[in-house]
């Protein structure tokens, strides 16, 4: 029986005077919920509701989605372009022509003086796919800088790198429907109920219909861990050891899928030799999970008819993030769990369009999963755009996390930030502040003028937000969904697409290349460029996407619907058509707690806030849940230090300090604290962020801190001063 769902009893919603509902897609997390925004008779957005027929959310929304229409009128929005000669001077409001001319001339000045790569561009996972593609065309085809990347290096780059190493291409192979078929779910470093509430609802629904084991690996007792049949409170940063050990037990006990290994994978021998070293006894001493539990989990997973693993930042944000992803893929390959219903490696993505940037932004290469390193790919795109192929570099440039250090060394002199707020979201923000202050020119393009990073800029370009514009997002399960333009952009803010197009016109090469004016015009280029490729969009159109509540790629020309899974034919994207089993030795290089800094500092998110709170901090119904920076701390550890619930404490690391309010909870072990990263001048003043060697993603979640009581509550409130307005 389905709890409470036997009889449908729709909730009555207060009449807000809606005269028209417009289709769109949520702009927060990567779940990809279809939303309708209600407009009243004066054209104001007054309500949001889930789309009942949408396959992802089936009428549901989480609390962020329910209040999303309030974004349009939220505080701190940018109303006009702003310029100033010196950072920290007052800004002057200027016209779009003045601001775009200034930015274009600074880009040219810096590139002429210091070389093309001295001007860097860092974007996001939160603008539309058509905007990503256009920005890629502008950066790679017109401006010609190779130091172009996105904040997805903080988020998904380990997943991208791991998929490429194992399967020969990026692209999450599974889907949410897999919950309905799986016989065992392993969730590693992913807290669905708070970070992907509607994916969690899908999982709950599947578990209510048919019980299957849920195994959660997380150092905290998260909301998901509370639902688990087995919870593995792993020692931070050691998931790879656990994964190697699970493989060890499976091979040792002959539980592997030999036919799958033989026909679908390569390099089994070297992989098997490596995991031999990871017996459960040795491994338990490193990863903190006892040997019996390791054996039990390995057997449960391998014996399930279909088993799947999901993961998010607990894996990706680590010095072995990419190896962790490959370790998950290894586990699924040896048990034959790729490309079948309920058997998959599904990276739960983060931002609403983290996938769109991977597919189309050209950050790591060229559009449509093409590589700069591949001659044919360079030729194809150069021909399509109508430029000389020699204009493209033959190798990708710096990752986002290497661009900031390149400012220190003088390689990078100018920076354009688009929809990202590194002064709050990057590790070791005292260092980022110095980097930004060393730039000759910084331009910030954001929907909010009060975004902290804008304090350091010379130019600010006000962007339209979410459904003030039109275009597509791709969600975690490769579903391309549509954001219809619901309302006009706030004041004189403009869609990012318009800004990129206007910028292109200010460069000689930009005048030669076609830049379609509308998002749908750009979408036609995506259809053409993806035809016959893995991420085929050619069967899609805006109308079809809206009618179906999103379409999963590949959707080839003539197809009516998309494809729920990849690799169902057992053919992978490596040259030999096989998936690679890769041996992964564990290197322990994290900062660990010691005598001076005795606590693990863990960080992440809570359900009511999104990232650096430029949006959710302004929406009363969300912000009031947690307006103050705080940490979760274990009551035993707190009482030893004389720290009380609701008091303040100062955290100190080798990088900096932060004052937070204390929330005592058994969710964290005595040697760890957890701080949501949503607050400015807070957890990222402390984080170290060593980088993964393959993906260059920072280890946001592992470093050592010292804790002491802080009497001075005022200091805390000054430090976390309210957002400024310009
Ligand atoms: N409400 C809300 N939802 C969001 C977002 C948001 O800001 N707010 N952001 C979106 C984005 S961009 C992303 S990337 C996702 C992130 O989604 P999640 O990754 O689910 O969220 P986090 O809280 O960052 O981290 C998840 C868990 O990793 C655990 N962890 C820490 N260290 C380790 C470790 O060494 N091993 C393991 N196994 N686990 C560890 C933490 O204890 C935490 O519970 O959420 C998306 N959804
Ligand atoms: N300690 C710690 N730090 C972390 C993490 C962690 O777990 N722990 N997680 C990391 C992860 S996974 C991520 S994804 C990053 C996120 O880090 P950021 O990308 O820096 O965070 P956001 O606050 O989402 O910044 C997005 C900006 O885009 C603006 N914006 C929104 N929509 C639009 C639009 O349509 N156009 C334009 N131009 N601007 C728009 C918003 O106002 C906001 O300022 O943080 C990372 N930082
Ligand atoms: S689950 Fe994610 S996509 Fe769905 S309404 Fe909530 S924030 Fe939006
Ligand atoms: Mo993210």
Three-state secondary structure call for residue 75: coil
Query: Is the distance from the beta carbon of residue 173 to the nearest atom of ligand 2 less than 6 Å?
Result: no
Partners of residue 459 on adjacent β-strands: 83, 443
* Domain extent listing, the chain: 82-150+353-510, 157-347, 599-722
Cα 260 to chain center, whole Å?
Answer: 32
Ligand 1 centroid to Cα of residue 620, in Å, is 23
Whether residue 29 has its Cβ less than 6 Å from ligand 3: yes
Residues 88-123 as b/e (b if ≥16 CB within 10 A, e otherwise) read eeebebbebeebbebbbebbeebbeebebbbbbbbb
Q: Which residues are paired to 122 by β-bridges?
A: 149, 417
Say if ligand 2 is within 6 A of residue 155 CB: yes
* Contact predicate 649/643, CB 8 Å: yes
CA of 32 to the centre of ligand 4 (A): 14
* 178 close to 349: Cβ distance less than 8 angstroms: no
Low-confidence ranges of the chain (pLDDT < 70): 1-11, 712-726
> What are the C-alpha distances in Å from 581 to residues 152, 273, 311, 434, 537?
26, 11, 19, 42, 30
Nearest-atom number in ligand 3 for the CA of 62 is 6
Is the Cα dihedral 712, 713, 718, 720 positive or negative?
positive
Q: Considering only CA atoms, which residue is closest to atom 7 of ligand 2?
A: 604
- Hey, which CATH number is domain 82-150+353-510, 3.40.50.740, 3.40.50.2000, 3.50.50.60, 3.90.1150.10? 3.40.50.740
Q: What pLDDT digit, counting tens, does each position of 22-45 carry?
A: 999 999 999 999 999 999 999 999
Asked whether 222 lines ligand 1 (CB < 6 A), one says yes
Atom 30, ligand 2: residue with shortest CA distance: 419
Output the six-digit token pair for 288: 């903190």
CA distances from 228 to 207, 214, 235, 238, 299 (A): 11, 5, 18, 20, 17
DSSP symbols for 306-318:
SEEEEE-HHHHSS
In angstroms, what is the span from residue 130 Cα to ligand 4's centroid?
Answer: 20
Query: What is the distance in A from the centroid of ligand 1 to the CA of 311?
Result: 9
CA-nearest residue, atom 4 of ligand 3? 33
CA of residue 350 to ligand 1 center, whole Å: 9
User: Quick check: 705 and 172 in contact, CB under 8 A?
Assistant: no
Spatial CA neighbour of 318 closest among 591, 663, 44, 680: 591
**Closest ligand 2 atom to 421 CA:** 20
Location of structure tokens 């400015």: 680
pLDDT at 147: 98
Q: Which of 72, 158, 314, 447 to mutate to test the pocket of ligand 2 (most atoms within 8 A of CB)?
A: 447
Quote the pLDDT of residue 428.
Answer: 94
Instruction: Identify the DSSP state of 366.
Output: B
- The CATH architecture one would assign to domain 157-347 is 3-Layer(aba) Sandwich (3.40)
What's the confidence (pLDDT) of residue 1? 42
Would you say the C-alpha torsion 543, 562, 58, 126 has a positive or negative sign?
A: negative
182 CB-near residues (< 8 Å, 6+ apart): 206, 212, 304, 306, 307, 308, 342, 343
Residues 6+ apart with CB under 8 A from 138: 500, 503, 504, 510
DSSP 419: S
Tell me the residue length of the chain: 726
- Atom number, ligand 1, closest to the C-alpha of residue 195: 3
Listed residue (600, 377, 505, 475) closest to 156, CA to CA: 475
Q: How far is CA 473 from CA 1, 510, 565, in A?
A: 35, 26, 18
Is the Cβ atom of 26 under 6 angstroms away from ligand 3?
A: yes
- Work out the number of other CB atoms within 10 angstroms of the CB of residue 371: 16
Among 427, 611, 673, the mutation site with the greatest number of ligand 2 atoms within 8 A of its Cβ is: 611
In 3-state terms the chain splits into helix, strand, coil percentages (rounded to 5) of 35, 20, 45
Residue nearest to atom 7 of ligand 1 (CA): 610
Q: How far apart are CA 261 and CA 267, in angstroms?
A: 10
Consecutive H or E run containing 195: helix 192-195
Two domains, one topology: 82-150+353-510 and 157-347: no
| Cα separation, 475 vs 265, whole angstroms | 28
The domain defined by 599-722 folds into Barwin-like endoglucanases (2.40.40)
Q: Which atom of ligand 3 is nearest to the CA of 31?
A: 3
On whether the CB atoms of residues 437 and 410 are closer than 8 A, the answer is no
Query: What is the Cα–Cα distance from 689 to 697, expressed in whole angstroms?
Result: 8
Query: How far, in Å, CA of 695 to CA of 323, rounded?
Result: 9
**Ligand that comes closest to the CA of residue 190:** 1
Contact 331, 309 (CB under 8 A): yes
Structure tokens belonging to residue 314: 């607990």
Distance CA 416, CA 230 (A): 46
Whether the CB-CB separation of 250 and 298 falls below 8 Å is answered with yes
Q: Which residue has the tokens 């076609």?
A: 514
- For a ligand 1 pocket test, name from 701, 702, 703, 704 the mutation site with the most ligand atoms within 8 angstroms of its C-beta: 701
Tell me, what's the pLDDT at 12?
A: 72
How many Cβ atoms are within 10 Å of 39's Cβ, its own excluded? 20
Written as six digits, the tokens of 543 are 């109308």
Q: Is there a cis peptide before residue 554, judged by omega within 30 degrees of 0?
A: yes
Distance 271 CA to ligand 2 centre (A): 37
Residue 29 dihedral angles phi and psi, to the nearest 5°: -90, 175
Q: What is the pLDDT of residue 192?
A: 98
Q: Whose CA is nearest to atom 19 of ligand 1?
A: 313
Could you give the CA distance from residue 404 to residue 451 in angstroms, rounded to a whole number?
Answer: 19
- CB 539, CB 559: distance < 8 Å: yes
CB 584 within 8 A of CB 244: yes
With a 6 Å cutoff on the Cβ, whether 31 touches ligand 1 is no
193 alpha carbon – ligand 3 mean position (Å): 11
Q: Are strands 148-150 and 119-123 parallel, antiparallel or unpaired?
A: parallel
Give the Cα separation of 128 and 27 in Å (integer).
10
- What Å distances lie between residue 673 and 240, 282, 668, CA to CA? 22, 27, 6
| Euclidean distance between CA atoms 498 and 542, whole angstroms | 19
Tokens of 12: 């009555």
Pocket lining: 206 vs ligand 1, CB cutoff 6 Å: no
């Amino acid at each position: 029986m389905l709890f409470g769902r036997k009889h449908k009893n729709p909730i009555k919603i207060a009449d807000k005077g809606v005269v028209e509902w417009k289709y769109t897609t949520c702009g927060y997390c990567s779940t990809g919920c279809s939303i309708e925004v209600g407009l009243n008779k004066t054209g104001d957005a007054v309500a949001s509701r889930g789309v009942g027929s949408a396959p992802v959310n089936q009428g549901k929304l989480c609390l962020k989605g329910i209040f999303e229409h309030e974004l349009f009128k939220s505080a701190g929005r940018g109303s006009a372009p702003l310029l100033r000669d010196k950072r920290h001077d007052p800004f002057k409001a200027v016209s779009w022509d003045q601001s775009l001319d200034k930015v274009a001339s600074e880009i040219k000045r810096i590139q002429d003086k210091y070389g093309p790569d001295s001007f860097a561009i860092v974007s996001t996972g939160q603008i539309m796919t058509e905007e990503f593609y256009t920005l890629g065309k502008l950066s790679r085809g017109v401006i010609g800088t190779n130091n172009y990347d996105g904040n997805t290096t903080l988020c998904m780059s380990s997943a991208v790198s791991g998929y490429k190493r194992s399967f020969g291409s990026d692209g999450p192979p599974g889907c949410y429907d897999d919950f309905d078929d799986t016989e065992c779910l392993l969730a590693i470093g992913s807290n669905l109920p708070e970070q992907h509430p509607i994916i969690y609802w899908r999982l709950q629904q599947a578990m209510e219909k048919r019980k299957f084991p849920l195994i959660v690996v997380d150092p905290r007792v998260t909301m998901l861990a509370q639902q688990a049949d087995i919870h593995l409170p792993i020692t931070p940063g050691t998931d790879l050891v656990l994964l190697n050990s699970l493989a060890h037990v499976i091979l040792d006990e002959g539980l592997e899928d030999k036919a799958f290994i033989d026909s679908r994978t390569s390099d089994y021998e070297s992989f098997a030799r490596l995991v031999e070293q990871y017996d459960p006894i040795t491994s338990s001493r490193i990863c903190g999970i006892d040997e019996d539990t390791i054996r039990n989990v390995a057997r449960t997973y391998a014996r399930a008819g279909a088993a799947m693993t999901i993961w998010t930042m607990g894996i990706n944000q680590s010095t072995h993030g990419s190896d962790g992803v490959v370790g998950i893929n290894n586990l699924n390959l040896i048990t034959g769990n790729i490309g079948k219903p309920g058997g998959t490696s599904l990276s739960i993505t983060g931002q609403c369009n983290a996938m769109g940037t991977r597919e189309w932004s050209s950050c790591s290469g060229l559009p449509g999963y093409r590589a700069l390193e591949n001659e044919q790919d360079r030729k194809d795109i150069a021909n399509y755009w109508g430029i000389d192929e020699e204009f493209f570099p033959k190798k990708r440039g710096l990752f986002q996390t290497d661009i900031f250090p390149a400012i220190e060394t003088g390689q990078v002199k100018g920076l354009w930030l688009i929809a990202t707020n590194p002064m709050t979201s990057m590790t070791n923000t005292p260092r980022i502040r110095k980097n930004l202050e060393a730039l000759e020119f910084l331009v910030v393009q954001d929907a909010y003028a009060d975004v902290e990073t804008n304090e350091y800029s010379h130019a600010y370009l006000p962007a339209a937000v979410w459904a003030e514009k039109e275009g597509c997002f791709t969600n975690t399960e490769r579903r391309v969904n549509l954001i219809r333009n619901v309302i006009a952009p706030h004041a004189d803010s403009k869609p990012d697409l318009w800004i990129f197009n206007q910028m292109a016109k200010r460069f000689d090469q930009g005048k030669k290349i076609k830049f379609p004016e509308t998002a749908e015009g750009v979408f036609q280029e995506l259809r053409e460029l993806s035809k016959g490729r893995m991420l085929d969009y050619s069967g899609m159109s805006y109308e079809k996407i809206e009618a179906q509540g999103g379409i999963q790629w590949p959707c080839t020309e003539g197809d009516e619907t998309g494809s729920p899974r990849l690799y169902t034919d057992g053919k992978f994207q490596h040259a030999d058509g096989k998936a690679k089993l890769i041996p992964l030795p564990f290197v322990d290089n994290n900062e660990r707690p010691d005598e001076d800094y005795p606590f693990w500092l863990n960080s992440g998110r809570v359900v009511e806030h999104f990232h650096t709170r430029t949006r959710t901090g302004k929406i009363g119904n969300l912000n009031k849940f947690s307006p103050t920076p705080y940490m979760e701390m274990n009551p035993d550890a707190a009482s030893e230090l004389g720290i009380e619930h609701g008091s303040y404490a100062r955290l100190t690391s080798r990088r900096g300090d932060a004052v937070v309010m204390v929330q005592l909870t058994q969710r964290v072990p005595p040697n760890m604290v957890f701080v949501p990263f949503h607050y400015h001048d807070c957890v990222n003043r402390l984080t170290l962020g060593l980088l993964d060697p393959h993906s260059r993603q920072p280890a946001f979640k592992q470093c050592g801190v010292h804790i002491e009581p802080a009497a001075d509550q005022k200091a805390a409130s000054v430090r976390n001063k309210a957002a400024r307005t310009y």
